[in-house]
């Protein structure tokens, strides 16, 4: 089962469910639990409640597929991200760094992962809307990432597709510039749906593909798998929740294993397509 957030033309943001029978209004099934993504994640048993709803959801109103799909994040949720979780990412960060490369080597092997704040809900870009590159950056790339959907207790209850936009030139200049390289207007896109999961093992071997098109041609394409992650999704989620509560739940991007070559940088007008097997496809133009 997959959940998504959409804009009803008269009733505002609501939750929908995608099942084998079609698209249905999940908020109508239970207006309290499914009033929003955050209210669902605040529930004691969010995954079980969602699976239970799947059995009855077809009784409720169908959703017009032309209605606007919103990012699956709202309320007081936060989007966080993990870095240097793939060896390819470690090598790329070490190569781009102007004197701080050993930091990435050390964090790759350390017990504690690199975790950083990415965006709050109102800054998250919806599927189909443009992501951005910084005007003060000369080297920019998308980062396709499996994104964990975590309930208030810290358990993984779903996954979605994430694009952790990054300025490689700013981070490469100084690792302390990471927040500026990672958090800016248009730097975070997630969606379009949340796939409900109940066991961590389902996330260990998912194919991830990235395609960047430019003027109708493929400018870059690549593929990897979550099997190449150094850390497990469960481990990353556990570290995020160690001393930081998320009463409305959170999204956690798990790092990228797809790095375009040093000669490549995004341009305005490019289109970024990220697909994760069994999870979905996120498409955003670049502004």
Q: What is the pLDDT, as a whole number, of residue 92?
A: 65
Q: Which of 14-28, 210-224, 226-240 has the lowest mean pLDDT?
A: 14-28
In which residue are the tokens 């870059």 written? Answer: 220
Residue-level pLDDT at 264: 96
Q: What is the pLDDT of residues 149-180, one digit of tens each?
A: 999 999 999 999 999 999 999 998 988 999 99
CA-to-CA distance for 3 and 196, rounded, in angstroms?
A: 8
Do the Cβ atoms of 197 and 157 come closer than 8 Å?
Answer: yes
91 pLDDT band, cuts 50/70/90, is low
Domains of the chain: 2-70 (no CATH), 78-285 (3.90.850.10)
**Rounded CA separation 119/202 (Å):** 26
pLDDT (0 to 100) of residue 41: 96
What's the whole-number mean pLDDT along residues 129-145? 96
7-49 tens-digit pLDDT: 999 999 999 998 888 889 999 989 999 999 999 999 988 988 9
> Is the pLDDT assigned to residue 201 strictly greater than 70?
no
Q: Is 220 helix (H, G, I), strand (E, B) or coil?
A: strand
In percent, the amount of the chain with pLDDT more than 70 equals 94
pLDDT of 98 reads: 61
pLDDT of residue 97: 64
Each residue's pLDDT tens digit, 243-256:
999 999 999 999 99
Average pLDDT, the chain: 91
In the chain, beta strands by DSSP E: 2-8, 12-19, 22-25, 69-70, 78-83, 114-119, 140-141, 144-150, 156-164, 166-167, 188-196, 207-214, 217-225, 250-253, 271-276, 280-285
For residues 108-115, give the mean pLDDT: 90
Residue-level pLDDT at 1: 84
């Amino acid at each position: 089962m997959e959940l998504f957030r959409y804009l009803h033309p008269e009733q505002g943001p609501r939750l929908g469910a995608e099942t084998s029978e079609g698209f249905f209004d999940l908020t109508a099934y239970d207006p309290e639990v499914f009033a929003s993504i955050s209210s669902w994640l605040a529930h004691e048993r969010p995954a079980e409640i969602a699976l239970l709803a799947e059995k009855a959801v077809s009784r409720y109103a169908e959703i017009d597929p032309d209605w606007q799909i919103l990012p699956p994040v709202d309320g007081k949720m936060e989007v966080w991200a993990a870095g240097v979780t793939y060896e390819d990412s470690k090598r790329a960060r070490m190569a781009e760094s102007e004197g701080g490369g050993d930091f990435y080597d050390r964090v790759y092997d350390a017990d504690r992962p690199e975790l950083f704040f990415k965006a709050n809900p109102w800054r998250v870009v919806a599927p189909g809307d443009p992501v951005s590159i910084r005007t003060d950056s000369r080297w920019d790339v998308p980062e396709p990432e499996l994104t964990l959907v975590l309930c208030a207790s810290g358990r993984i209850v779903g996954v979605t597709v994430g694009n952790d936009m990054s300025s490689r030139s700013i981070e490469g200049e100084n690792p302390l510039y990471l927040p500026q390289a990672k958090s800016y207007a248009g730097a975070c896109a997630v969606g379009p749906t949340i796939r409900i999961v109940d066991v961590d093992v389902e996330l260990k071997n998912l194919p991830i593909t990235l395609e960047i098109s430019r003027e109708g041609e493929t400018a870059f394409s690549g593929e990897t798998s979550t099997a190449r992650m150094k850390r497990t999704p469960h481990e990353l989620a556990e570290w995020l929740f160690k001393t930081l509560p998320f009463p409305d739940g959170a999204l956690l991007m798990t790092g990228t294993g797809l790095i375009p070559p040093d000669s490549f940088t995004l341009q305005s007008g490019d289109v970024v397509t990220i697909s994760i097997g069994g999870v979905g496809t996120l498409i955003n133009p670049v502004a």
